Structure 1
Amino acid sequence: MSQFDKIYRSLLFTKFFAKGLGKPEDIKRVLDFRKIVSNRETCKDLVERDYPIHIDKDVAYKDCRIMEGHFTSPFVKYLPGIAPKEVETAHFQMVVPLHWKKSVGLKPVCLQLAGTGDHYYGLRRTLMAKPLINESGIGSIILQNPYYGQRKPSEQMRSSLLYVNDLFIMGLGLILECLALLHWCEREGYGPLGIHGISLGGHMASLAATNWNKPISLIPCLSWSTGSCAFTHGVLSGAVNWNVLQSQYYEDSDYQEIQNRIITPDLNKGAYPLGKQFVKDYPDSLKVVESLSQESKGLEHSEKDSFAKEVNMNLSADAMPISADAVPVVNSYGSRLKSIPQTLKYAASKSKLSVPKMAADATKKLKLNGKKGFSPESMAFLQGVMDECTHLANYSVPVDPRLIIVVAAEKDAYIPRDGLVSLDQLWPGAEIRYINTGHVTSIIFNQSVFRKAIQDSFQRQIKLYYS
Structure 2
Amino acid sequence: MVALNVGVAHYWLDHAYGALMHRMKLAPPFFAKGWGGQKLELLERIARQLVNGQEDDESSLVQVPAANWPPPPLPITLHWRTVWETPSARLQEGAFFTPCDEQLRNALPLESYIARVALLTPRNTHPANTSCIIHLAGTGDHGFQRRLKLGAPLLKDDIATMVLESPFYGDRRPKQQRGAKLLCVSDLLLLGRATIEETRALLRWMKEEMGFNKLGVCGLSMGGVHAAMVGSLHPTPLAVLPFLAPHSAAVAFCEGILQYGTAWDALMQDQVLNSGTTLEQVRERMRAVLGLTDVTKFPAPKKPEAVIFVSATNDGYIPRHSVLEFQRAWPGSEVRWVTGGHVSSYIFHNKEFRKAIKDAISRL
Shorter-normalised TM-score: what interval? 0.7 to 0.9
Is the 8 Å Cα contact of residues 87 and 152 (structure 1) preserved in structure 2? Answer: yes
Cα displacement (A) at 1:137? 1.6
Cα displacement (A) at 1:42? 4.4
Is the 8 Å Cα contact of residues 36 and 42 (structure 1) preserved in structure 2? Answer: no
Q: What pairs up with 1:358-377 in 2 under 5 angstroms?
A: 375-377=279-281
- Counterpart check, 1:207 vs 2:229: yes
> Which one-letter code corresponds to 1:26 in the other structure?
K
Cα displacement (A) at 1:44? 3.3
Looking at structure 2, the residues matched to 181 and 420 of structure 1 have their Cα atoms a distance apart, in angstroms, of: 27
1:111 alignment partner in structure 2: 134
Picking from 348, 353, 360, the partner of 1:450 is 353
Secondary structure (helix, strand or coil) at the match of 2:218 reads: strand
Unmatched 5+ stretches in structure 1: 257-281, 283-372, 462-467
Is the 8 Å Cα contact of residues 76 and 88 (structure 1) preserved in structure 2? Answer: no
1:186 alignment partner in structure 2: 207
What are the Cα deviations for residues 235-256 of structure 1, in whole angstroms up to 9, with x where unaligned? 11100000011122xx435x89
2:43 alignment partner in structure 1: 30
Is the 8 Å Cα contact of residues 209 and 218 (structure 1) preserved in structure 2? Answer: yes
> Which one-letter code corresponds to 1:45 in the other structure?
P
2:191 alignment partner in structure 1: 170
Is the 8 Å Cα contact of residues 175 and 211 (structure 1) preserved in structure 2? Answer: no
- Counterpart check, 1:82 vs 2:102: no
2:333 alignment partner in structure 1: 430
Secondary structure (helix, strand or coil) at the match of 2:143 reads: coil
Secondary structure (helix, strand or coil) at the match of 2:316 reads: coil
- Cα root mean square deviation, aligned: 2.2
- Counterpart check, 1:380 vs 2:294: no
> Which one-letter code corresponds to 2:281 in the other structure?
E
Looking at structure 2, the residues matched to 144 and 218 of structure 1 have their Cα atoms a distance apart, in angstroms, of: 18
Cα displacement (A) at 1:203? 1.2
> Which one-letter code corresponds to 1:115 in the other structure?
G
Q: What pairs up with 1:339-418 in 2 under 5 angstroms?
A: 375-388=279-292, 390-418=293-321
Is the 8 Å Cα contact of residues 224 and 422 (structure 1) preserved in structure 2? Answer: no
Q: TM-score, normalised by structure 1?
A: 0.68
Seq. identity, %: 29
Looking at structure 1, the residues matched to 229 and 363 of structure 2 have their Cα atoms a distance apart, in angstroms, of: 21
Q: TM-score, normalised by structure 2?
A: 0.87
Count of residues paired in the alignment? 335
Cα displacement (A) at 1:39? 4.2
Secondary structure (helix, strand or coil) at the match of 1:75 reads: coil
Secondary structure (helix, strand or coil) at the match of 1:210 reads: helix
Q: Which structure: larger Rg?
A: 1
Picking from 2, 13, 28, the partner of 1:4 is 13
Cα displacement (A) at 1:75? 2.1
Is the 8 Å Cα contact of residues 246 and 252 (structure 2) preserved in structure 1? Answer: no
Unmatched 5+ stretches in structure 2: 1-7, 54-66
Secondary structure (helix, strand or coil) at the match of 1:422 reads: helix
Looking at structure 2, the residues matched to 183 and 225 of structure 1 have their Cα atoms a distance apart, in angstroms, of: 26
> Which one-letter code corresponds to 1:35 in the other structure?
R
Is the 8 Å Cα contact of residues 119 and 161 (structure 2) preserved in structure 1? Answer: yes
